[in-house]
């Protein structure tokens, strides 16, 4: 486990309004793709502070978090672990 990227994953979850705001999670090589219930809960400005995040793309359906290529795979994996753990509580 990479504690720095686990912290980044936890920060992302908080900045999108936590697990209750997520409809679905997907990804590609360098993007974490989130379908959300309420985009108004997203604190877009905070993503600049997250280790491994390069930017954000917002579409009508999704929030896409663009990740550093060297950290993307680990950060996506850590996000899914954090999300699944919190979703079971």
Residue for token pair 């309420």: 38
Is 28 noted as a catalytic residue in this protein? Answer: yes
The catalytic residue among 20, 24, 26, 28 is 28
Helix axes of 3-15 and 69-88: crossing angle, nearest 10 degrees:
60
∠ CA 67-73-76, rounded to 5°: 70
Q: What is the rounded CA–CA span in Å between residue 78 and residue 76?
A: 5
Q: Mind telling me the catalytic residues? A: 28
């Amino acid at each position: 486990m990479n504690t720095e990227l686990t912290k980044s994953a936890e920060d992302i979850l908080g900045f999108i309004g936590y697990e209750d705001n997520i409809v679905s999670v997907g990804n590609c090589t360098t993007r974490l793709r989130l379908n959300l219930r309420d985009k108004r809960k997203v604190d877009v400005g905070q993503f600049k502070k997250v280790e491994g995040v390069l930017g954000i793309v917002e579409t009508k359906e999704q929030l896409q978090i663009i990740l550093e290529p060297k950290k993307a795979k680990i950060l996506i994996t850590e996000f899914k672990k954090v999300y699944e753990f919190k979703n079971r509580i």
